[in-house]
Structures are given as C-alpha cells and as structure tokens.
Structure 1
Amino acid sequence: MAAPSTSPRGTLERSVRERVPPLLTDLYQFTMAYAYWRAGRNQEPAVFELFFRDNPFGGGFSLFAGLQDCLLFLRGFRFTEHDVEFLRSVLPPTTDPAFFQFLLGLDCSGVTLRSVPEGSVAFARVPVMEVEGPLAVVQLLETSLLCLVNYASLVCSNAARFRLAAGPKRMLLEMGLRRAQGPDGGLSASRYAHIGGFDLTSNVQAGFLFGIPVVGTMAHSYVTSFTSLEEVWPQTLVAANGAGDLVDVVSLIKSWLSRVCELLGAEPGRIHEGELAAFSSYAIAYPQNFLPVIDSYSVARSGLLNFCAVALALCQLGYRPVGVRLDSGDLCRQSVDVRRVFRLCSERFSVPAFETLTIVGTNNISEQSMTELTKKENEIDAVGVGTHLVTCTKQPSLGCVYKLVEVRGRPRMKISEDPKKSTVPGRKAVYRLLDPEGHPFLDLLCLKEEPPPKAGLPLSCYPLGGENCPAAVTPAQVICLRQEVFSKGQVTERLCSAAETRAKVQSSLQTLHPRHKRLHEPDSYTVALSEKLHNLILELQEASGNFLLAN
C-alpha cells in the first residue's frame, strides 16, 4: 500500500513521479515498442539485465544504489492523456492510432524485478538487476532505470572511497549542492553521498526528504559584510541558564580579546574589527551553534584571535561554542596551530570546553588530498567535500547498461566484435562465495535452473576474462545475491531509509578483503561462469559463426 501523501515516504514517492515520469526516456524506446506492438510481439515474455562493465575510479568495487527510486518508479508507471498527445506529435505520422490507446493501458503489473540488495558491494559484469515482463513494457523501462541507477551508484561509490581515505572516525560533510549538475543532481548527490558514508549534508531539502542530518553556519560573505563593532545589534545576551540580567557581550568580548592577545603575544591593532563584529553578532544570534569560518583575512593574526575572544565570552556565560572552519591554505599545518592555541586557552583560562572544540577543513577536497591529509599530522575533526564528490571528477559516469538476455524462454546474446561488449545470455542466478574468514572472493553466475553451489563442496567455474580455462574453488559460505523486490505491481520488500541503507553499505564494505578495498592498485575481484553457462555461450558463439559463414 502506498504511504499517505503527507508522510515522508509519500513525499518521496511523489518526488519520484514528478522527476521520473514515463516520458523521461529515449525516443527509440517508443519506436521499438511500436514495432514490437505492430508485429504482435509486445506481450512476449522477456528478461533484461542491468550491469556495469568496469569498476569505477580504477577501484576494486562499486556500490549498488538507486533501487528504491526504481521501485517507486515502477509502482507509479502510467501514461497520461497529455503524455500520449505529446507522443503523437513526435512519433512518425504513420504510427497506428491504436498504439496510443495501447500505451494508455500500460502499467508494470506484469513486471517482476529481482535485484541485489541496495547498498551492497557490486562488481563489474555481475548483473545487479533482472527485469522480467512483457517485451514492450520492459523495453520502455530501460533508460529510466539506467538513469536512476547510474548516478546513484557512482556517487555512492565515490563517497565510500572518500570514507575509506578519511578513515572511520573523521566526520564527513557533503556540501556540493552549488556545484552539482542541476537541482536533481544535487539532491541525488546529497542522498547517495550519505548512503556511501558521509555523515552530514548542507542540503536542507535532502534533510527534509531523506532524514540526513543538516549542518551549516556562515560563509565568508557574512564575515566581510561587517566593518565595525558598532554594527553589532543587539549587543546583549542573557546567560545560558537564563538567570540574571542581560550582559553587554561586546564589552565582555573586548575584555577577552585583550587577554587572548596578551597570552599569544599578538598585536590588537592588527585584528580585523569587522571580523570580530561578524563573530560577535553571530554568537549573539546562535550562542549554541558558534562555528565561524576564520580565514577571511588572516587565521593567525585575526580570525583565530577573534574566535577565541568570542568563544571565551560564550563559555563565561555558560554556552558551549562548537569550533572553527578553515577554508584555505595549508589545512593540516593551520589545524595544528589552531589546536595548540585552543589548548593554551583551556589551560591558562581554565576553560575545559576549549579542549573539545571542533576543527573543520574545507578547501576543494579531492580523494587524493583526503588521502594526503590522513597521512599528515593534523588536528582536523571534520572535512567538508563538495565539487569532487558530487561531480565525480575522476569518472563522470558508471556506464551501466541494460541488455536483453532472454525472449520467449530462449537465451539471447550480443556477440560483439569487441569482446568486452559481448553479453552473458540466459536467466541467471547469482551467488557470492566467501572464504573461511567471511571475505567474498568470487561471484558466480549460473543458469537459473542449476542447483546452487554448496558450502564446503568444490566446484568448477570459468573466470570472466580468463583463457577459457576452468578454475576449481571451494566456498566456505554461499550467499544468493538476488531477491525479488517487485511483482504484480507491488513492492515486495520493505523500503529502507537512507540511514538503514547507509548501515548496509558499511556492513557490506567491512566484509571485503582489504586487498579489494585499496584505493590504488587493488587486486581484481573474480567473477566467473558456471560450466553450463560457459558451454551455453560457446554454443551460441558457434551458432552465430556458422550463420555468418553460411551467409
């Protein structure tokens, strides 16, 4: 049953309907569907598979994401009168009018979707989705499903790599909305970056739709908009416990500034008053959320001193400042200097809160700079990442494809002059084989009718990309990767929240052997065919070769 429209789930489903209507596809899907319909083939049972050919970013794995939107898309798949009228205008005028009536009656009640669980580790050439149903319908679904999976899986995988580079303890903030490829790209990036391992987002709409924790305080523009302390209004604040009269905060801050300058041997005259005014004004507005950017002018000579003065005033009134943000220069070196000053203030002024202040680093962070940051001495507690995360600058597309593998119960295979573009025919079962330590070491593709492999029993298989030489393996455990998630027009698995899928991602990644998780030069993961599936491919290739020779 669909969730009520006022619920978060109802809002999400409405969002999918609005963003991914049935017309969000390529025109040739309709021309093929029409040709099937004219030939009387539109109801033939067919099976397509969705997979990608190479692991992204030169890595050893990918993550599968976007399934939930695919399910909501299938559940709401309908053509309206307006849709059909537009199709009349773009399809050739010779198109039979009865075809448009046929489209008005289409839905996905005859479609069955089997899938790898969303948030699972996935590998190149392993089908992550199987779509079964009437030929014309499952053909029409191709582009939309690819659109929903490609970017989601790519961003999720990119985020997971950033998480691996950052380590498990450092907080990661996604802040790429302004750099994303349009509003929907930005929203999808926030969602799947969180699922891939980021803790927080700056994107308010993503917080509303997906329950991702939202954070943010101020930009440089806020700081540079102030010129003097006279612009601070109001200039008073009550103590955190609400007791006592209003306190003249500006005077209190000035007093603390003198003490901080004396402690650090700084020159008060070189401090930027406008910056101090900005910090003071913001602290009065949000005394429990004080985390300013401190590099608008000079971190060492102005920003850090101004922060300490305002933060110490807040502490005196019973509030707890949050920390600072560094956005330029050598973040590692600056963070060490900033932490040293925090500890000095904590010790000299007996303010324990200064020991736990947060230092956030943001400055065009890439996977490479994240890796370097992790290796260097630094005191950065949280890192904000934007452009390189949401635009996936190292690889702009995952390259998922959607290929026909069976029609009318007969296997179909694309036999390309480029062997890499050949497809694996037939309906399949997909199994993940684990070693005695619980690490996956091989994904096995079998024909659907084959019995599943059994733990502890040796089996013979043919690794993809090998030299047609069989390999003998013995799994300690066997996991069936496919599950039915959509049937008869209904979603058959519970839809998970972003937080739940995020937990699945981390659990799935933890099972991977470190050699497959390495960000650089990882070991290749083995994907193999069962003996029967390997023989089927040889038969189809031989039949195709004989056909070409005969003609």
Structure 2
Amino acid sequence: MTPDAQTLNPTPDDYSLLTDLYQLTMIACYCGEGIENDPASFELFTRRLPPNYGYLIAMGLTQALEYLQSFHFTASHLEALEKTGIFTHVPERFWTTLASGKFTGDVWAVTEGTPIFANEPILRIEAPLWQAQLVETYLLNTINYQTLIATKSARMRDVAGDDAILLEFGTRRAFSPQGAMWGARAAVAAGLDSTSNVATALKLGIKPSGTMAHSFIMAAGALEGGEDEAFRIFHRYFPNAPLLIDTYDTIDAAKRLSEQIQAGKIQVSGVRIDSGDLVTLSQKVRGFLPDSLLFASGDLDEWEITRLKDLGACFDGYGIGTKLVTGTPVNGVYKLVEINDIPTMKKSAAKVTYPGRKQIFRHQDDLKIYSDRLGLITESPDLEEVPLLELVMKQGKIIQPSESLTTIQQRTRMNVTKLPLKTRQITQPDSIFVTLTNALESLIHHA
C-alpha cells in the first residue's frame, strides 16, 4: 500500500505518534542532556473563557486516561521516524527511551461534569519529563474539544429546561469521525438525551435517536404516490418514530395527518420541523396535532432555543447539530509548572502562567457554589471548601472506577444549577471570580 493510500483512521497503536513533531524533538534534546527522566509537572487549563461563557464543564478525562494507559512505541513506529531523516543527530538514548517507554506517571484531575473557570487546572500530569512532554498534544485535543461540547450542551439544557428532549445530530458537521464520536459522548454526558450517531450510542450502551431525511419523503413519495404514502410507509416499520413534515408544505402536511388520526388510520407520536418560521409553524402544527411531540432542528444553539421559547414556540424537543460541534473553541493550554521540585512560570505578555502544582478549593454547600480559591497542592482547604483535583491515575494505572454517563450527566446538571444565575446566563455572564491564596501569590512574586 502506498503512503497516500494508507488509512488515517487511528487505532490505539497509533496513539504514541498522535503528537506534534516538536514534542519528539524536545524529547531528543532531553535525552541528549540526560534530563529526560527528571520529574516534571504540567497543568492543563484555559487562560480565559470563550466570549459570553461564564463557566466551562470539564469533559474528556475518560478518553485521556485511556490514552495514557495505552500509548507505546512499536518497532515500526521507530523505523518510520528514523526514515524521515529528521532525527539523524539525536543520541541513541532517544531511541531506547521511546522503545521501552510507556506512561508511568500520576494524574490529578477534576471529575467530568465539574464547572471550571479561567486559570483553574482541569488536570495535572506528574511524570518523567519526556512522558509529560509527549502527551500534551493528545490531551489538549480530547480535553479541549469535549469540554467545548459539554459546556454548550449544559447551556442548552439550562435554557431548554429539564423537560425538553435534546438530541445530538452533529456527526455530519463534526471535524472528523473521531471528533463526532467524542462530541456525541460529551453531549450526552453533559445533558442531552441521546445521539443520532449509531456507533457512539451502541458503544455507550444507549439507544440512538433520529427520524428521517427529506430524501426519504421525496424518494418514497415519488415512487409510491406522494407525501402521505411516504409517511405511511415509514410509520409501518417505525410506528413510534417522529415524521419529518416540512419537505413541501408543513401546515398542509400537519392538517392531513390530523385528518388521518381522526379517521383512525394512523397514530403520530411526533413530528419534526427543520425549516421556515419555526415559531409560527410550531403554533399552527400544535393546533392540528395537540397530542404529538413537536421537534425543531436546523442550526439551533442556546441563543436560538431561547429566542424560540421567548416568542412562544411550541416545541417539546430540539435536534442540535452544527452549532454544537463547531462552536467557539476552548483554548486550553498545557504548561510546565514544576520540574525537579523547582516551580516554573511563563512570563510572556498576555500569556503569564502561575507556578507550582496547584489545587482548586471550592466554597460551596448543597445549594450553591460560592467562590473558588486557587492555591498550592501543599495547602489545606478552609472550612466549607472542597478540593476539586483528585488523584485518578497512579504510576500509570487508573485507580478510580469509570463512571456511567448517567452519573456524569446528573453531576453536570446539579453543578450548573448551583452556579449563580448571572454566571449561567448566555449573554454577558459574570464568571465566578477566582482568588489566589497568599502562598501562591508569594510564589508568583518570587518566581
């Protein structure tokens, strides 16, 4: 097989090479200087929240830990790297390090579904320098993307309400098949009811959701006698699935379905509207189909759902795709905070980082999150504070049992409802102010 014909679908065997070149060039230098195994700590965080976001929902830890436990270099990997000619001058120690290497470090992280704010670590890697350096790219990829999807999903659930049915329809707009699966997983974990992505749903042990496309109505209708016959055919095989009624004339379709219901010819569990004036159409369709669920789809997000509700739309649920999986990016970064017990700090303009291994101390009770303090790992929480970063991997082994999506989903919703209303609002929110402990302030001053 020629190089350009090889599949680009990654498997766990590819994990070690799913990295940026500069990770490997830096590791080669570390090996040349004999410092590749010096203990290092890196933290993953975002310096600032995306515009109009008052919080982020941490997500992606499950896939991050799977990666850390799986990555390794094979003989074919090393041969392919050597053939590039890039590593001609590196020491032999570089090759032996990679050949024998696997992740042997510790991971501290907040639980998935936890609200997080600017400069707060979502996770920390404590490992030999070469390992901690290598994993940066993959960790940023999975944590940044799933945190984006989880946050948008939590916001949509918040504005739609707990009774609304929210379905993830983003696979065809996601940036890759892998991204589509991660996005579907993060969406359900953060509050959506299901996904149309069959592979993801089956892997997660949930039932996929969906209706039909306009092409079915056009194809079946053209061959079998019209839109009504297309509805009857689909209902014959999937009697509990919603029908898509906006291919031609939404109101006329709803009226004809109502007449067939009254005549006892069909039962309609629900209908979906994908285009047009959704507010007016939903109100008129509701009059014809008072006992059927009404779903909206078509470029929906938290702002559009809010607009529809404010204008009196009558929808019971929403199918959410493009604007969920392609939103404003979460610009998470991964920075060295300590090496050989020496705190490190980046001082570049507008890119300053805080030194030292840190802990988040959250002041909360059963009803409300009040405030956060960012301190050093050596400090203790004050009364009514909870430390958020937990040890989840020890010496390369996962030490906490995996959680169900239901557990993460419930945690997400509970945590969002504890946030102040001004932090939850989707336009010009007020994020919770994160203070620094005296010890951290002192370390910053002397770094």
TM over 0.5, shorter chain: yes
Q: 1:182 Cα shift?
A: 1.8
Partner in structure 2 of residue 93 of structure 1? 88
After superposition, give the CA deviation of every residue in 1:217-263 in whole Å (9 maximum; x if it has no partner).
Answer: 221111111446xx55xxxxxxxxxxxxxxxxxxxxxxxxxxxxxxx
Distance 1:57 1:169, change over 3 A: farther
Q: Which has the higher contact order (CA 8 A, sep 6+)?
A: 2
The alpha carbon displacement at 1:179 in A equals 1.4
Distance 2:372 2:236 in 1: 58
Tell me which structure has the larger Cα radius of gyration: 1
Residues 35 and 497 of structure 1: CA distance in aligned 2, closer, same or farther (over 3 Å) = same
1:191 aligns with 2:185: yes
Paired position in structure 1 for 2:410: 503
Counterpart pick for 1:401 among 328, 333, 343: 333
**TM score, norm. by length of structure 1:** 0.76
**Cα contact 1:60–1:522 (8 A) shared by 2:** yes
In the TM superposition, 1:227-266 aligns within 5 A as 227=221, 232=224
> d(CA) in 2 for partners of 1:142 and 1:502?
27
Kindly provide the amino acid, as one letter, of the partner of residue 297 in structure 1.
Y
Amino acid at match of 1:445: L
Asked whether the equivalents of residues 65 and 156 of structure 1 are also in contact (C-alpha less than 8 Å), the reply is yes
Question: Unpaired segments of 5 or more residues in structure 1?
Answer: 1-14, 233-272, 344-354, 456-476, 541-551
Name the structure 2 match of 1:149. Answer: 143
Match of 1:492 among 392, 395, 399: 399
Partner of 1:70: 64
Is 1:331 aligned with 2:278? yes
Match of 1:515 among 410, 413, 422: 422
Distance 1:496 1:453, change over 3 A: closer
Change (3 A) 1:513 1:275: same
Distance (Å, rounded) in 2 between the aligned partners of 1:74 and 1:227: 52
CA RMSD of aligned residues (A): 2.0
Q: Which residue of 1 aligns with 2:230?
A: 278
- Tell me how far 1:308 sits from its aligned partner: 2.6
- Say yes or no: does 1:56 pair with 2:8: no
Q: 2:404 aligned with 1:535, yes or no?
A: no
Amino acid across the alignment from 2:368: H
- Rounded to whole Å, the distance in 2 between the matches of 1:56 and 1:484 is 28
**Using the alignment, how far apart are the partners of 1:339 and 1:447 within structure 2?**
57
- 1:425 is aligned to 355
Residue 98 of structure 2: aligned partner: 103
Check conservation: 1:64, 1:153, Cα contact below 8 A.
yes
1:127-142 to 2 correspondences below 5 Å: 127-142=121-136
Shift of 1:539: 1.2
Distance 1:382 1:74, change over 3 A: same
Q: Does the 8 A contact of 2:275 with 2:298 survive in 1?
A: yes
SS at match of 2:72: coil
The secondary structure found in structure 2 opposite 1:58 is coil
Structure-2 residue corresponding to 1:307? 257
The residue number in structure 2 matching 1:39 is: 33
| Cα separation, 2, equivalents of 1:20 and 1:381 | 43
Paired residue for 1:545? none
Match of 1:368 in 2: 303
The residue identity in structure 1 corresponding to 2:274 is D
CA contact (8 A) 1:283 1:310 kept: no
Deviation at 1:310, TM superposition (A): 4.3
* Structure-2 residue corresponding to 1:448: 377
Aligned residue among 411, 424, 430 for 2:343: 411
Equivalent pairs: percent with the same residue?
A: 33
8 Å CA contact retained: 2:150, 2:187:
yes
TM-score (norm 2): 0.93
* Separation in 1, partners of 2:13, 2:150: 20
Q: CA deviation at 1:378?
A: 2.2
Q: Check the 8 A contact 1:190/1:203 in 2, yes or no.
A: yes
Aligned length: 438
CA contact (8 A) 2:337 2:345 kept: yes
Q: Return the offset for 1:151.
A: 0.4
For 1:526, the equivalent position in structure 2 comes to 433
Structure 2 CA distance for aligned equivalents of residues 305 and 277 of structure 1: 15
